[in-house]
Structure 1
Amino acid sequence: MRRGNSIAAKTGGYLVLETPPPHAIGALLLTFAMFYGFVSGRVRVEIISLLTLGVIALALFIAPLPGQSPTDGLKLAFEGFGHYALVTICALMIIGRGLVTTGALEPAARTLTKVWRFNRQLGLLVTLLLAMFMSMMVNDTPVVVLLLPILVSLAARGGMPASKTLIPVNSAVLIGGMATTIGTSTNLLVVGIATDMGMRPMGVFDFTPIVLIAALVALPFIWLVMPRLLPDNSPASGHQPRCFRATLRLGERSMAIGKTIDAVRRLLPDETTVAGPADRILTAGARLTISAPHEALEETVRLLGAHAAPPWLMERLNADYARTGDDLSVVELAIASDSGLIGKRITESGVAETYNVAILGTHSGRPGLDSLNDTDADTSLSEGDILLVAGALANVQKLARGENLLVLEGLREMPRTMKAPLALAIMAGAVIPASIGLVPIAISSLGGAILMFATGCVKFDRVGRALSAKVIVLIAASIAIGRIVLDSGAAEWLSQLIALGLQFLPAAGVLATIMLFVTLLTNFASNATAAAVGTPIAFNLAEQLGIPVEPLVLAVLFGCNLCYATPVAYQTNMLIMSAGEYKFGDYTRTGVPLVGLMIVTLSALLVFRYGLH
């Protein structure tokens, strides 16, 4: 594999940085543009990833790398879709989906509920430990998906407020996911790239002892300190309850007809906010954009004689109720990371026609959308948003199942518990042979995914919910970015740049700096892309500083998992944001100390483990 021209020299024993090759400059600019796209959030991750692949393919076709043909660039750009790391990630997604749909993890959840009812502090500790160990074997997101409704429900019944438990539990999940090669897709990506570059293949549990010791150091902070740093956002503490934005349609007999918005505001509950100019005269059929808690929303609808959904839809729901006798329920549903509703507006989602339910209002999980105006109620839906949905129980269940939504209050889909032991056996069959070195994890996980389909633990028509298109395209683009950064000489140049500042530091300082560098990238951009860029840099840096490559690669892997400090750092961070009523500062206040604690501990453990004293 070509690494580019020499871009550094030594003068008097010191490293001197030279100008990078043109292809390296282009690779760095493209990487920066990709990072900026992720951070800005203006364009969806899938679009940015596909654009990145397209730019790589076209640029290398027009200006191939030295010694390569134009078609070699196409291979470099798109070979990530066939990379064994991506195949392994997809297979593990399917296995994780099988564990969720069969209820294989439900016994642990029931035990957890009993412990919480016995003692809240003990319940939190057991939850943290359970979350940590579950995420070692199952991808982080399904673990949070399982625990989120449980913790929200316990909080509603007088348990510890959800705002004080969700970030600590999420942090424990992220630490557990760091402990094995299969814990997260990022781990598999780092190990896969490093193996391609010549590092020895790593087993499932090769670095687990290091992470477990670091987890013991971090656990007291997560358990005892983090909840104290977080606000009590429960209604009992006087915190404003979750508000839903809704568009109300005034009926022909509404008492608001002929009145101004200012006059109407004085008649509504104090918690209700109405958008629009104060002197606007309301007419029959007019629409009002409001923001209100659930109870206040229903009271506002009653007082105004209005509908929170199109009148034809409410008439159809009431007609179904009259015909079938099925009670109408109002349920809060959170949008998961792989929901088909992400990026769609309510008016274009087709939910009403497909599932015969009405979306009464939305609560945004995105920071910066607290202001209310006339267009807020129909903004594009995003991961972590919460929907207030009305409909028959069976139809709401179909919606939650069909669009991959999490039930926060009310309903819960019944798992296929008869297949739970089988799903656990398949998971064990995929992990154990790989952990003892009998077969590669790519082979065992692929076999496990096939068995999940063959046994009915995951249905073929549900595979779209098991696999995340966003993750697939992102991983493929990350692999391509990693290759172009390496082959163009950009990784060598960056490693030289970093080495200039690190050449006089001890090994522990080098490892801590690399971990911090990757941590900053992963908290403000994509951890997958940070992994793809950081791994080649680690290889070149090891050569420049004379440090074994394996601890540097693990420093990159660990840094990619230290995504506690911002809500955009990882998809589970966004998933809990609305349910916990969190602000950006809540993540920073609790995440920055945890990042510092983990970097110091992990760096020291790597030095001790690899004898770099």
Structure 2
Amino acid sequence: MSAEEISVESSSAQGSGVETLPIETLDLGWLSLAPSTLVFIVLGLTLAGFIWGRFRYDLVAMAALLGSVMLGLVPAEGAFAGFGHPAVITVAAVLILSRGFERSGVVDIIAHQALKVGENLLLQLLVLVGTVVLLSGIMNNVGALALLLPVAMRMAREHDTSPSILFMPLAFGSLLGGLTTLIGTPPNIIISSYRRDVTGEAFSMFSFSPVGIVVALAGLAFIVLVGWRLTPRRNSQVSTSDMFDTANYLIELKVGEESKAKGLTLQQVRDELDETVPVLAVVRDDNRRAGYNFHGALEEGDILLLEAGPDELQTLEDKLGLSAIAEREEVTDDAELLANEENADGNADKEPSQGHQPVDTEGLQLVEAVVRNDSMMINRSVRQLRLNHQFGLHLVAVARDGGRLKQRLRDIRFKNGDVLLLQGGEKEISDSLASLGCLPLASRELHLGQPRKLAMSIAIFGLAIIAMLFDLLPAAVAMSSAALISLLIGVLPLREGYQAIDGPVIVLLAAMIPVGEALETSGGADLIANGLLRFGSDWPVVLTLIGLFLLSTLLSNVVNNAAAALLMAPIAVSLANGFDVSLDPFLMVVAVSASCAFLTPIGHQSNTLVLGPGGYRFGDYWKLGLPLSLVVLTVSIPMILWVWPL
């Protein structure tokens, strides 16, 4: 291997103290590759891994980092310096503070007021999307969306509105809100830290606000007045009885004198069938007990209320001798107990299909939940997860792409965006869903939190903002101090604080920061910038900014927005240097465009979270996302050039 010495300034992010970074040309005799070529190969494979989606993005990012180290693109002693980078620390602290806001009741107060909106659809959209825009400016985008989704769901049910009209605008609103402040979204934090590394001065808390607020308001106006008309009208698929059609699959089986199930526990029944059987309730002597809470042996005359299709019903009869009850005479009283509370409140005039009563979701502790992008359930089955033994949950049904999956439950490998119908203990189900990485979608009672913790939470956050505004503390130190104080005084329990930190995002950022620096130090960023400069040398700088916006937007729609910002920041600086103009407008363009992941459901976690509950398809997103992206482009470029002139 022939060495090629490339001199660069030591990055404060690496902190290695090395003034020159030796990067060698890979020479295999017949094949000689320059460092920039190696970086392009690594990044190309990384992007392919992100798009493929077979492995989670944090694993792909870590593979890119280790590959860069082995190729000599990243020094081994600085390989993991990204885990201590201020941008990574700031993101982790903001995640903790976001959970603290939720716990203290700050957000619930706003959500409680949002539920008072009347039947006017435009007003519903204005309140919902406007609220999520506001919240996303001070907390994690996904966290803000997660808090408003149950509100939107309840609003859709109460006013007979298709949830597909509300959910996509809500997801896009969470992305728009992140543009307004430094801590609103990881790309802003990354761009601010990158500016500090290059110029010695970072963007402040509200440096993004003049452009971000105008863009967010323009996007909000477009969504409320025009954009919602571009979303698909799908039938309501957000309630248990609608999405999963539970009543049509509710089967009552009786334990007879000769039944093999007689004397077996429910767990032994599952073992005998080699299948996950979602027994919702066991009826004995007119007393009903939830299946998850029934631990004794079955007796003659017991009635099992469970979810099963024709194939499962035949298996239960053949293997266990359980006979289906054709008529409901023996359980008339119990069937009345199973009347759906929601149906009684809002749909009392509707006849249950096929004579069956809908399931009582409250009495049986049934809950709908969507699988998040970072969930431990992804690509794993019920058995691998040990849902029943380890988490105390029974899987009743799974919906994907707006429709119920008909295959056997044990054969299903979960995907992000899947909507699950689960049964579990009322007290334990919330913790179990949080551990699994699922977002509950069922309507929940809003609470106002504890006034003392509410006041302390706001005061702590306000002091952190003041410290940042007056340059008393760097953003990472101010936010970390606020997070620490919140944990110490009990605004948020320590266990929940650790759970709030999105591990995959932290690993992604920490791994991609050195790789992004390798793009710059190897000369790769300059090569890309020089190519763009040659291509557009006769164009006005504003056209180059538009090209940079479009390139970054496309990238953010196929990879994580933080990764897009990390990769595009060096290119933006190289372009600014090539034009010999201020780098601020170029960095701001990257900050805005990296958050414009409106075209695909995989561009951002917010988009994925509404995919299943809204019944959307992959191709639905661009119909609203493309015109919204053009609105952001049209508004942001003039605003950036006005606030941050060349």
Instruction: Give TM-score scaled by structure 2 length.
Output: 0.75
CA distance in 2, matches of 1:243, 1:377: 17
**Which residue of structure 2 lines up, in the alignment, with residue 30 of structure 1?**
42
Call closer, same or farther: CA 1:22–1:127 in 2, change over 3 Å.
same
Q: Which amino acid aligns with 2:102?
A: V
**Which residue of structure 2 lines up, in the alignment, with residue 304 of structure 1?**
313
Q: Is the CA contact 1:226–1:590 (under 8 Å) kept in the aligned structure 2? A: yes
Q: Is 1:483 aligned to residue 485 of structure 2?
A: no
1:399 pairs, out of 419, 432, 447, with 432
Q: Is the CA contact 2:371–2:417 (under 8 Å) kept in the aligned structure 1? A: yes
Report the secondary structure of 1:137's partner residue.
coil
CA distance in 2, matches of 1:199, 1:583: 45
Q: Is the CA contact 1:180–1:208 (under 8 Å) kept in the aligned structure 2? A: yes
Deviation string 1:505-538 (CA, Å, 9 cap, x unpaired) is 2122111111111111110122222111111111
Deviation string 1:124-148 (CA, Å, 9 cap, x unpaired) is 1122222112111111111001001
1:306 deviates by 6.9
Report the secondary structure of 1:362's partner residue.
strand
Q: Is the CA contact 1:404–1:465 (under 8 Å) kept in the aligned structure 2? A: no
1:579 deviates by 1.2
1:251 deviates by 8.0
CA distance in 2, matches of 1:569, 1:140: 13
CA distance in 1, matches of 2:233, 2:526: 48
Q: Is the CA contact 1:345–1:381 (under 8 Å) kept in the aligned structure 2? A: yes
**Which residue of structure 2 lines up, in the alignment, with residue 192 of structure 1?**
193
CA distance in 2, matches of 1:152, 1:301: 31
1:191 deviates by 1.6
CA distance in 2, matches of 1:103, 1:302: 47
CA distance in 1, matches of 2:54, 2:194: 29
CA distance in 2, matches of 1:559, 1:118: 35
Q: Which amino acid aligns with 2:411?
A: D
1:92 pairs, out of 79, 91, 94, with 94
Q: Which amino acid aligns with 1:591?
A: G
Deviation string 1:372-417 (CA, Å, 9 cap, x unpaired) is 6756763332332221112342233342344343322255696853
Q: Is the CA contact 1:360–1:390 (under 8 Å) kept in the aligned structure 2? A: yes
**Which residue of structure 2 lines up, in the alignment, with residue 359 of structure 1?**
395
**Which residue of structure 1 lines up, in the alignment, with residue 550 of structure 2?**
516
1:118 deviates by 5.7
Q: Is the CA contact 1:289–1:377 (under 8 Å) kept in the aligned structure 2? A: no
CA distance in 2, matches of 1:511, 1:167: 28
1:350 pairs, out of 373, 376, 386, with 386
Deviation string 1:64-89 (CA, Å, 9 cap, x unpaired) is x6xxxxxx711332110111111111
Call closer, same or farther: CA 1:158–1:298 in 2, change over 3 Å.
farther
Deviation string 1:241-263 (CA, Å, 9 cap, x unpaired) is 53489999998989xx9xxxxxx
Q: Which amino acid aligns with 2:93?
A: A
Aligned length: 535
Q: Which amino acid aligns with 2:370?
A: A
1:599 deviates by 1.1
**Which residue of structure 2 lines up, in the alignment, with residue 74 of structure 1?**
76
Report the secondary structure of 1:406's partner residue.
strand
Call closer, same or farther: CA 1:392–1:184 in 2, change over 3 Å.
same
Report the secondary structure of 1:397's partner residue.
helix
Q: Is 1:425 aligned to residue 474 of structure 2?
A: no
Deviation string 1:188-239 (CA, Å, 9 cap, x unpaired) is 11221222122632111112111222233333321122221112212499xx
1:36 deviates by 0.8
**Which residue of structure 1 lines up, in the alignment, with residue 118 of structure 2?**
117
Q: Is the CA contact 2:195–2:203 (under 8 Å) kept in the aligned structure 1? A: no
Deviation string 1:145-173 (CA, Å, 9 cap, x unpaired) is 10011111211222432100111122122
Call closer, same or farther: CA 1:474–1:524 in 2, change over 3 Å.
same
Alignment gaps of 5+ in structure 1: 6-19, 66-71, 258-283, 291-295, 312-317, 319-325
**Which residue of structure 2 lines up, in the alignment, with residue 156 of structure 1?**
157
Taking every aligned residue pair, what percent have the same amino acid on both sides?
25
Q: Which amino acid aligns with 1:140?
A: N
Call closer, same or farther: CA 1:551–1:327 in 2, change over 3 Å.
same
CA distance in 1, matches of 2:153, 2:645: 45
1:2 pairs, out of 8, 17, 40, with 8
Q: Which amino acid aligns with 1:27?
A: V
Call closer, same or farther: CA 1:413–1:44 in 2, change over 3 Å.
farther
CA distance in 2, matches of 1:609, 1:463: 37
Task: Kindly report which structure 2 residues correspond to 1:176-255, keeping only aligned pairs within 5 A, or say none.
Answer: 176-198=177-199, 200-235=201-236, 241-243=242-244
Report the secondary structure of 2:427's partner residue.
helix
Report the secondary structure of 1:204's partner residue.
coil
CA distance in 2, matches of 1:250, 1:499: 72
Call closer, same or farther: CA 1:248–1:490 in 2, change over 3 Å.
farther
Q: Which amino acid aligns with 2:433?
A: A
CA distance in 1, matches of 2:584, 2:410: 51
**Which residue of structure 1 lines up, in the alignment, with residue 627 of structure 2?**
593
Q: Which amino acid aligns with 2:233?
A: D
1:361 deviates by 1.5
**Which residue of structure 1 lines up, in the alignment, with residue 138 of structure 2?**
137
1:564 deviates by 0.6
Q: Is the CA contact 2:251–2:306 (under 8 Å) kept in the aligned structure 1? A: no
**Which residue of structure 1 lines up, in the alignment, with residue 535 of structure 2?**
501
Q: Is the CA contact 1:180–1:207 (under 8 Å) kept in the aligned structure 2? A: yes
CA distance in 2, matches of 1:456, 1:303: 49
CA distance in 2, matches of 1:142, 1:165: 17
Q: Is 1:41 aligned to residue 74 of structure 2?
A: no
Question: Which moves more between the two structures, 454-463 or 428-437?
Answer: 428-437
CA distance in 2, matches of 1:118, 1:343: 41
CA distance in 1, matches of 2:221, 2:635: 14
CA distance in 1, matches of 2:446, 2:315: 32
Q: Is the CA contact 1:152–1:579 (under 8 Å) kept in the aligned structure 2? A: no
Call closer, same or farther: CA 1:81–1:515 in 2, change over 3 Å.
same
Call closer, same or farther: CA 1:398–1:207 in 2, change over 3 Å.
closer
Q: Which amino acid aligns with 2:421?
A: L
Call closer, same or farther: CA 1:303–1:372 in 2, change over 3 Å.
closer
Q: Which amino acid aligns with 2:418?
A: D
**Which residue of structure 2 lines up, in the alignment, with residue 126 of structure 1?**
127
The CA RMSD over aligned residues, in Å, is: 3.6
CA distance in 2, matches of 1:187, 1:226: 26
Q: Which amino acid aligns with 2:111?
A: A
1:478 deviates by 1.7
1:483 deviates by 0.8
Q: Is the CA contact 1:163–1:582 (under 8 Å) kept in the aligned structure 2? A: yes
